[in-house]
Amino acid sequence: MRFVACFFSLLLLAAALPAQDGKVLYETFCGACHGSDGKGANDGQFPPLAESAWVKGKPDLMLQVILHGLTGEIRVPSPNAHNALYNLVMPPQGGTLTSEQIAKIATYVRRSWGNKEGAVTVAMVEEQRKATKARNTMWEANELLERHPLPGAKKKAKQNPAIANLLSYVYHGSWSQRPDFKQLKPVSVEEEHKGLISVTHAGRKDAFGIVWEGEITAKKAGEYKFKIDSDDGSAVIVNGELVAEVKGTGAMNRGQEGKIRLDAGTHDIRIEYFEKSGGQDIALAMRGPDTGGWVPLSETGARKKGTPSIPIVPLPREAAIYRNFIEGTTPRGIGVGYHGGVNLAFSADHMAVELLWTGNFMDGGRHWTNRGQGNQPPAGTKVVKISGGPAFAALESQTTPWPAAYGEALAPVFRGYKFNAAQEPTFFYTLGGHEVTDQPAPVIGNNRHGLARSITINPSGDGPRRLYFRAVHGRKITAVNAHTFDVDGIMTIETGKGGGAPFVRDKDLVVPVDLTGGEAAIQLRYTWN
């Protein structure tokens, strides 16, 4: 009998081998990112496979991801990910791994870490290969999920939105208390098919209000709780009854909760919101006897995990530099944040200060997590784009169109920068061999911040000696006097001595630069209104 038992255990061992094989293959080819425990390596920085909707149901979806790879944003419904957003690249494996290897890996994944899905056969992999034989690019989620929806996704789509028949009414005005919106006239009305309220659709960031109206469904009669938080004030009104209110102005974290008894069926909901100035946001959630916890009724709160915030903060006597992809300037962008709330972005492609803004400098969250894809906008406020394209040009006359790029004669070469004791950079570059320095300096005022700029051009090269400098490009410019100009009502620019008489043409403020007599200097001061 003992021998028989032993023989059986050998058989069992043999039967267990393919699964073991799948584990070894998984650990070799997949484990570094998805984790040995299937939860996604590095605290879930990578998508989990454990109890992931992408693994559940028919294996076609996961096989397509393995075969052809996946790029761009995806959401992963899994208790290990909380529907988190990922933006990575899954490299295609179909060209490398055999169908047998893929079948073993997929089977292992579908039977591990709480997954209880059916095995994947070589034939299933072959079938998926055949179905997408001509494909030679990676999948993007939208395209793939249209063909192979996540299990339950269809059902979800048919489900009623959180708030049915949702309309948003936008109002313009500045209030310190919630106004009587019924006495006001909305500037626009929109249908909100997602059924979630959001302040991002207002089209402006200060001095506005929004009223949303729609219907919520109570499946069971009982007590329903509502919690609301907002920046600035808000109120939630159900069946005409005020349930909870965030009074006055102020930032988030002033949340209020209220309750109301509802019969089974649909009920009118109305949310009133106003934003005076500064930040803006609203979060609303509902909880009832049938909801199984809080149900978000706003986009804020429905987002469980996004890009973390990593503020980059200039210190006293230590300006901050951020060299990365900054929205609004070119890829060779250099952000400079000065202590006190003045910031700029210099383009080392265009050799120009292109962006000015106040308040917070930059957030590293986008570029310092995951692969760091995309451009990051300035973190502060009053962002003004003052330049784009070449900042200098040699023109036939004052009416010659501005060139789209530096030509041969003014070929630009970036030379770098040097810090002063406060780590504030002076930029160096050459244009057509002429040596140029651009020294920005923050002007921290009590109410009005600004930036002073001192540019010197040394005619050391063979390039043209009569140039024009574009101090501002692409804005509405109004001359206040010969050396003072208003930019879009946002900013005032003063030109100092040196350089020729500035003039406005089209949407540009242009300063003539004459190098025939030697070095020239341009003094500028930009001040936010």
Partner 1 sequence: MNVTKRMKTLLASHFLLGTLAMAAPSMEDFYKREEIPLPKGEVMEIGSIALMPDQRVAVTTRRGDLWICDGACGEDLSRVTWTLFARGLHEPLGMFYKDGWFTLTQRPEITRLRDSDGDGRADEFRTLATPWGINGDYHEYTFGSEPDREGNIWTVSCLTGSFHARSKFRGWCFRVTPEGEVLPTASGIRSPGGVGFNAAGDAFYTDNQGVWNGSSSLKHLKPGGFVGNPTGNIFYEETDALGERPPDPREESRMEIERKRVPQLVPPAVVFPHGKVGQSPTGVITERSGGKFGPFAGQVLVGEQTHSQVQRVFLERVNGVYQGAVWHFLDGFRSGIVPLRMSGDGHLFVGTTNRGWGARGGLPFSFERVTWTGTVPFEMHEMRARPDGFEVTFTEELDPATAGDPASWKMQAWTYIYRSKYGSPEVDHAEPVVVAAAVANDRKSVRLKIEGLVKGHVHNLKAPGVRSKDGRELWHPSAYYTLNEIPAR
* Closer CB to partner 1, 222 or 308, in the complex: 308
Is residue 334 within 8 A of residue 346, CB to CB? The reply is yes
Cα 220 from Cα 83, distance rounded (Å): 27
Q: Determine which residue in the list 173, 203, 278, 331 makes contact with partner 1, applying CB under 8 A.
A: 331
| Strand, coil or helix: 377 | coil
x/- track of binding to partner 1 for residues 15-34 (CB under 8 A): -------------xx-xxxx
Q: Is 7 an interacting residue with respect to partner 1 (CB under 8 A)? A: yes
Instruction: Report CA 254 to chain centroid distance, whole Å.
Output: 26
Q: Which two tokens stand for residue 457?
A: 């051009």
Q: Is 311 an interacting residue with respect to partner 1 (CB under 8 A)? A: no
Q: Is 46 an interacting residue with respect to partner 1 (CB under 8 A)? A: yes
Interacting positions 478-517 with partner 1 (CB under 8 A): none
* Closer CB to partner 1, 106 or 297, in the complex: 106
Maximum CA pair distance of the chain? 109
Interacting positions 420-479 with partner 1 (CB under 8 A): 421, 423, 425
* Closer CB to partner 1, 96 or 529, in the complex: 96
- Which one of the spans 1-9, 12-20, 233-241, 272-280 is the region binding partner 1 (CB under 8 A)? 1-9
- Closest approach of Cβ 134 to partner 1, in Å? 12
Interacting positions 222-261 with partner 1 (CB under 8 A): none
- Closest approach of Cβ 372 to partner 1, in Å? 5
x/- track of binding to partner 1 for residues 126-165 (CB under 8 A): ----------x-----------------------------
Cα 226 from Cα 197, distance rounded (Å): 14
Q: Is 302 an interacting residue with respect to partner 1 (CB under 8 A)? A: no
Beta bridge partners of 413: 430
Q: Torsions phi, psi of 104, nearest 5?
A: -65, -45
Beta bridge partners of 347: 333, 352
Q: Determine which residue in the list 93, 437, 458, 484 makes contact with partner 1, applying CB under 8 A.
A: 93
Q: Determine which residue in the list 129, 225, 332, 483 makes contact with partner 1, applying CB under 8 A.
A: 332
Q: Is 404 an interacting residue with respect to partner 1 (CB under 8 A)? A: no
Beta bridge partners of 274: 209
* Closer CB to partner 1, 105 or 199, in the complex: 105
Q: Which two tokens stand for residue 77?
A: 């419904």
Query: If phi over 0 gives left and psi between -120 and 50 gives alpha, with beta otherwise, what is residue 428?
Result: beta
- Closest approach of Cβ 232 to partner 1, in Å? 35
Is residue 261 within 8 A of residue 251, CB to CB? The reply is no
Q: Torsions phi, psi of 201, nearest 5?
A: -90, 5
- Nearest to 358, CA basis, from 490, 173, 522: 490
Strand order of the sheet with strand 503-505?
392-393, 466-472, 508-514, 503-505
Q: Is 407 an interacting residue with respect to partner 1 (CB under 8 A)? A: no
Q: Is 323 an interacting residue with respect to partner 1 (CB under 8 A)? A: yes
Strand order of the sheet with strand 139-140?
84-90, 70-76, 139-140
Cα 102 from Cα 395, distance rounded (Å): 64
- Closest approach of Cβ 61 to partner 1, in Å? 19
According to DSSP, the β-strands at 70-76 and 139-140 are parallel
Q: What is the DSSP letter of 369?
A: S
- Closest approach of Cβ 472 to partner 1, in Å? 25
- Which one of the spans 121-129, 185-193, 326-334, 352-360 is the region binding partner 1 (CB under 8 A)? 326-334
- Nearest to 472, CA basis, from 454, 450, 495: 495
Q: Omega before 349 cis (within 30°)?
A: no
* Closer CB to partner 1, 94 or 499, in the complex: 94
Interacting positions 338-377 with partner 1 (CB under 8 A): 348, 364, 368-375
Residue 331 CA: distances (Å) to CA of 73, 334, 377, 427:
22, 9, 13, 17
505: amino acid identity, one letter: R
Q: Is 9 an interacting residue with respect to partner 1 (CB under 8 A)? A: no
* Closer CB to partner 1, 187 or 413, in the complex: 413
- Which one of the spans 182-190, 290-298, 325-333, 446-454 is the region binding partner 1 (CB under 8 A)? 325-333
Q: Is 410 an interacting residue with respect to partner 1 (CB under 8 A)? A: no
- Closest approach of Cβ 520 to partner 1, in Å? 23
Size of the site for partner 1 (CB under 8 A): 54
Q: Where do contacts with partner 1 occur on this chain (CB under 8 A)?
A: 3, 6-7, 28-29, 31-35, 41-42, 45-46, 69, 88, 91-98, 136, 320-325, 331-332, 334, 348, 364, 368-375, 413-419, 421, 423, 425
